[in-house]
Every structure is written in structure tokens, then in C-alpha cells.
Amino acid sequence: MFKKSNVLTLDSYSTRGKRENKLARADNIYSSSYIGFILTLVFVAVDSFCCYSCWNAAQTQSITMNVLLTVGCGLTLDVPPMFCAYALTLYKQGMLPKSKAKVITIGTIAVVSLVICGYFAFRIVTKDLIFDSISSGGITNAVAQGAESTTSNSNSNLFPAIYSGILPLATSITSFIVTYLTASPLKDRIHKLRKAKITTQANIADLNMAITEAEDVTSYSDYLIAREDDLYAHFLDELEAQKIVLKQIARVVIMEKLSNPDAVSELTESGHTLNDNSGISHVPQMASKAIITQHN
């Protein structure tokens, strides 16, 4: 009769919320906004590993410092381009002022260019230490070779050093392009607003239901009070009926002791009068029936 509503929920079966989430999904993996974030993490790992080989060859006293330097280099190379692409997308969709977009873009270009130039120079300087240690079994063997062998190895290691130095620049550009193509801040904002609208409408409906239920509770409490009054009246009627029964029994006992017919007849008439004047209700629970009739 009185069903409790779950107030402040999205909607009963979440059908509108699920439909909105389905509409907000990307059509394919290439247009998903998560692909840029995932690829940026992969590029950070790749660039960190490449930078670690340089620092590990040039500085062997502190492994912790090598790890911190390589992680910082990887984050600096790939994370700023991702945020720069997102900021330019915000500006393109009218959600970011031109001045802020310009500051973010200039800062990103400056930081990435500085790190790229330093990393490229570092690769060229440490090319013999890195690639000779791989090809000839260690730095000591490379130092022990003659001048002619050293010149030959230096020339053969130049191209791998240049290629590995250009790789972080390629990953930074790729991170920028992928994020710029897949980011959709305006679509995400609209999706959040639509979800908020669905939640608000569902909350309004549930609150209206709660108000209706509160009114039903008031009528139900009135019914319970009326029912208690009826039960109390019925209890009084039972007491009155028991009192009358006891009086009638007393009259019967007295009539059995009397030998005068006129006295017996008088007691019989007084018994009928007592029944007629009793206060027993012949239509019990009238108040509760009236409440039920009123709300049906």
C-alpha cells in the first residue's frame, strides 16, 4: 500500500544513465580519448629507458640519481606535449582563452626543445661509451684498442646515437598529435552536464514521490488513530456487556429464591429495561471505516 522510494538515486533502472554513457562512448579505439593517455605513458617509459642508458654509462656511482633523472627526462619530453595538445583543443572549442593557450604552447615548446637538445648532445657525447660497451664487451676493452680502431668505432656509432637521439623528439610529436586528435573536452563537458541533468530530474521525481508518500503516511496515521479509538470503544462495550450479564445472572438467582410471581415478573421487566438502556454500540469501528472510505 505504501511503497518506500529510494530518494536521490539516478533513476529506478538507470536506463537513462546507461543510454547516455553509451551515446558518449567513442565510435572506435582510434577516436577514444584514453588512447592518447595510454600512448603517452608508453612513450614516457621508452624515453626513460633510452635516457637511462646514457646516465648509466656516464654516471655509475648512484643508481637512484640515474632513475630520478631518467624518469624526469621521460616525463618532461612527453607529458607537456599532451597537455599542450589538450589546451589547444580547449582553445579551439572556445573553452580556454587565447592568452592561456599561447602561454602553454610557448612554455611547452621551450621546455621540450631544451630537453631534446640536451638529450641529443648527451647521446652524441656518450655514443662510444654506450655502443662500444655493447659491441666489444665493456668500456675497458674499448679504451684498450688502438687509435685507428677507436676512430672506426666512433664513426660506426654515430648513426645509432643520432637515431636514438631523435627518437624522443618523435615520441613527443606523436604524443601531441594523438592527444590533439582524440581529446574532446567539449564533448566530455556536455556529457557531464547531461548526466547531472538526468540525476537532477530523477531526484526531483523521487522527492515528489517522497512528498506523496509523506501525505499517505499522514492519512495512514489518522487511520491508525481512528482504529485505536474504535478498539477502545469496543473494549468499553465488552466491559458493559459483561456488567449486564452479571446483573442478569444476579436477577436469575434472586428469582429462584422468590416465591411471589409478581416479584418475579417485576425482576424480569427490569432485566428487559436494563438491556434496552445499555450503552453498547451496535455499529463498531465507525471512525476507521470513515477514514478508509475517505481515501478510497
Show pLDDT as tens, one digit a residue, over the chain (296 residues).
444 455 445 444 567 777 777 776 766 676 777 888 888 999 999 888 888 878 877 776 778 888 888 888 889 999 999 999 999 999 998 889 999 999 999 999 999 999 889 888 888 887 776 666 444 444 444 444 444 444 555 566 777 778 778 888 899 999 999 999 888 888 888 888 888 888 888 888 888 887 777 666 667 777 778 888 888 888 887 888 788 777 777 777 777 777 677 766 776 777 667 666 665 555 555 666 666 566 55
3-state secondary structure string across the chain? CCCCCCCCCCCCCCHHHHHHHHHHCCCCHHHCHHHHHHHHHHHHHHHHHHHHHHHHHHCCCCHHHHHHHHHHHHHHHHHHHHHHHHHHHHHHCCCCCHHHHHHHHHHHHHHHHHHHHHHHHHHHHCHHHHHHHHHHCCHHHHHHCCHHHHHHHHHHHHHHHHHHHHHHHHHHHHHHHHHHHHCCHHHHHHHHHHHHHHHHHHHHHHHHHHHHHHHHHHHHHHHHHHHHHHHHHHHHHHHHHHHHHHHHHHHHHHHHHCCCHHHHHHHHHHHHHHHHCCCCCCCCCHHHHHHHHHCC
Closest to 141 in 3D by CA, of 151, 157, 122, 149: 149
Q: What is the pLDDT of residue 147?
A: 44
Residue with grid cell 573536452, as numbered in its chain: 185
Q: What is the pLDDT of residue 84?
A: 93
Q: What is the pLDDT of residue 80?
A: 92
Closest to 118 in 3D by CA, of 75, 77, 66, 146: 77
Residue ranges covered by each domain of the chain:
15-183, 206-294
Q: What is the pLDDT of residue 289?
A: 63
Residue with grid cell 595538445, as numbered in its chain: 85
Q: What is the pLDDT of residue 7?
A: 47
Closest to 192 in 3D by CA, of 182, 180, 184, 203: 184
End-to-end CA distance of the chain: 12
Residue with grid cell 674499448, as numbered in its chain: 142
Q: Do residues 101 and 90 lie in contact, with contact meaning Cβ atoms separated by under 8 Å?
A: yes
Q: In this structure, what C-alpha cell is assigned to residue 250?
A: 444476579
From residue 150, give the alpha-carbon distance in Å to each of 28, 123, 163: 52, 17, 20
Q: What is the pLDDT of residue 223?
A: 76
Q: What is the pLDDT of residue 160?
A: 74
Closest to 74 in 3D by CA, of 178, 177, 167, 182: 167
**Residue 5: what are its φ and ψ, rounded to 5°?**
-100, 145
Q: In this structure, what C-alpha cell is assigned to residue 30?
A: 582510434
Q: What is the pLDDT of residue 205?
A: 84
